[in-house]
């Protein structure tokens, strides 16, 4: 069987059997096959980076590895866990079960924060805090695009922080991204960052506890529950974040965070009544859903 015949055969199997989650549109059968093919050749890449990969000839051992990876993927193991790679805003990141897999939808959070820093924050040095950092994707995206940003990132999970640190080293950003483990903003009280921060970003857990058991097995069985379980109404951590942010952000600074479907309008209304915030805006995704809140601190 030549390369094209093998490729067509495996692509047919993936096209027939692969279940693609709505929040991972980049994992189309062709991209998935190319990513796993490249992995079999010893060159791990994300699904997005694999788009332009041209399949190479495989040894018998490499074919066995490729077919084994395909079976793992069809069994529900996330592609990002098999390849150990995930692309986020053009950055090729390490990915694993230690943290939530960075999603395409969260690029809206990162790009919004980057826009706020470019357009609304002046000064030679911008201090940024990213909480619930997970694999560090939002923190790394900001540091890679805002050269004058000093980013402090934290996660409750020490395993997630370890993964984020590996990404920091991979991207050569450790001089501008400082990582900590701890509960929400607590690590930064010890660093005496009160009233010194220009912007806080967060991709919090926002799935209600009642909906967690109904989540796809691919997520529930392979990603940490603490990364998506947001309590009874899905907003437990958000409420803390909204309450604690004014302790850290300077007057005229911002809180920028991701919200779940349907949560944006109610949170915007609630925050608009708080004297700690002067303006509260929502940012919509391509389908018109409010997915990011941008709040200016008084």
- 14 and 162 fall within a common domain: no
- 126 and 273 fall within a common domain: yes
| C-beta neighbour count of 213 within 10 angstroms | 7
- 121 and 50 fall within a common domain: no
- 236 and 119 fall within a common domain: yes
- 112 and 7 fall within a common domain: no
Determine phi and psi for 29, rounding to 5 degrees.
Answer: -50, -40
- 136 and 238 fall within a common domain: yes
Tell me the sheet residues that pair with 131: 154, 202
- 119 and 169 fall within a common domain: yes
Residue 90 near residue 107, CB atoms below 8 Å = no
272 falls within a domain: yes
- 123 and 76 fall within a common domain: no
- 214 and 172 fall within a common domain: yes
Cβ-Cβ contacts under 8 Å for 151 (sequence gap 6 or more): 128, 129, 130, 139, 142, 143, 176, 177, 178
**Domain count of the fold of the chain:** 2
Which pairing describes strands 249-258 and 197-202: parallel, antiparallel, or unpaired? parallel
- 128 and 258 fall within a common domain: yes
- 262 and 118 fall within a common domain: yes
Cβ-Cβ contacts under 8 Å for 56 (sequence gap 6 or more): 3, 37, 41
Q: Is 198 helix (H, G, I), strand (E, B) or coil?
A: strand
Scan for tokens 């866990």, then name that residue: 81
91 falls within a domain: no
137 falls within a domain: yes
* pLDDT given at position 124: 82
Cβ-Cβ contacts under 8 Å for 280 (sequence gap 6 or more): 268, 271, 272, 293, 294, 295, 296
Show pLDDT as tens, one digit a residue, over the chain (298 residues). Answer: 799 999 999 999 999 999 999 999 999 999 999 999 999 999 999 999 999 999 999 999 999 999 999 999 999 999 999 999 999 999 999 999 999 999 999 999 999 999 999 998 877 899 999 999 999 999 999 999 999 999 999 999 999 999 999 999 999 999 999 999 999 999 999 999 999 999 999 999 999 999 999 999 999 999 999 999 999 999 999 999 999 999 999 999 999 999 999 999 999 999 999 999 999 999 999 999 999 999 999 9
Scan for tokens 């922080």, then name that residue: 161
Query: Given 3-state DSSP classes, what are the helix, strand and coil percentages for the chain, each rounded to the nearest 5?
Result: 45, 20, 35
Q: What is the CATH number of the domain that holds 285?
A: 3.40.50.150
32 falls within a domain: yes
Domain that holds residue 250: 104-297
- 69 and 189 fall within a common domain: no
């Amino acid at each position: 069987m030549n390369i094209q015949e093998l490729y067509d055969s495996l692509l047919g199997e993936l096209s027939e059997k692969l279940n693609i989650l709505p929040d991972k549109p980049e994992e189309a059968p062709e991209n998935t096959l190319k990513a796993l093919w490249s992995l079999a050749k010893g060159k791990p890449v994300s699904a997005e980076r694999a788009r332009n990969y041209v399949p190479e000839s495989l040894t018998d051992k490499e074919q066995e590895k490729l077919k084994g990876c395909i079976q793992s993927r069809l069994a529900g193991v996330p592609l990002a866990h098999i390849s150990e790679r995930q692309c986020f805003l053009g950055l090729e990141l390490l990915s694993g079960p230690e943290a939530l897999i960075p999603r395409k939808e969260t690029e809206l959070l990162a790009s919004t924060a980057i826009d706020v820093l470019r357009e609304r924050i002046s000064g030679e040095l911008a201090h940024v805090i990213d909480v619930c950092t997970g694999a560090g994707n939002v923190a790394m995206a900001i540091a890679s695009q805002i050269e004058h940003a000093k980013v402090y990132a934290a996660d409750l999970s020490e395993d997630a922080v370890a993964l984020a640190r590996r990404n920091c080293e991979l991207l050569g950003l450790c001089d501008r991204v400082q990582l900590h483990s701890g509960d929400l903003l607590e690590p930064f009280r010890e660093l005496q960052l009160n009233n010194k921060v220009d912007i806080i970003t967060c991709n919090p857990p926002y799935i209600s506890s009642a909906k967690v058991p109904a989540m796809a097995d691919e997520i529930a069985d392979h990603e940490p529950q603490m990364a998506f379980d947001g309590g009874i109404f899905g907003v437990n951590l958000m409420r803390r974040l909204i309450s604690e942010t004014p302790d850290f952000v300077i007057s005229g600074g911002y809180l920028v965070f991701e919200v779940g479907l349907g949560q944006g309008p109610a949170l915007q209304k609630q925050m608009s009544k708080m004297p700690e915030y002067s303006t509260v805006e929502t940012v919509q995704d391509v389908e018109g859903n409010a997915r990011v809140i941008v709040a200016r601190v008084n």
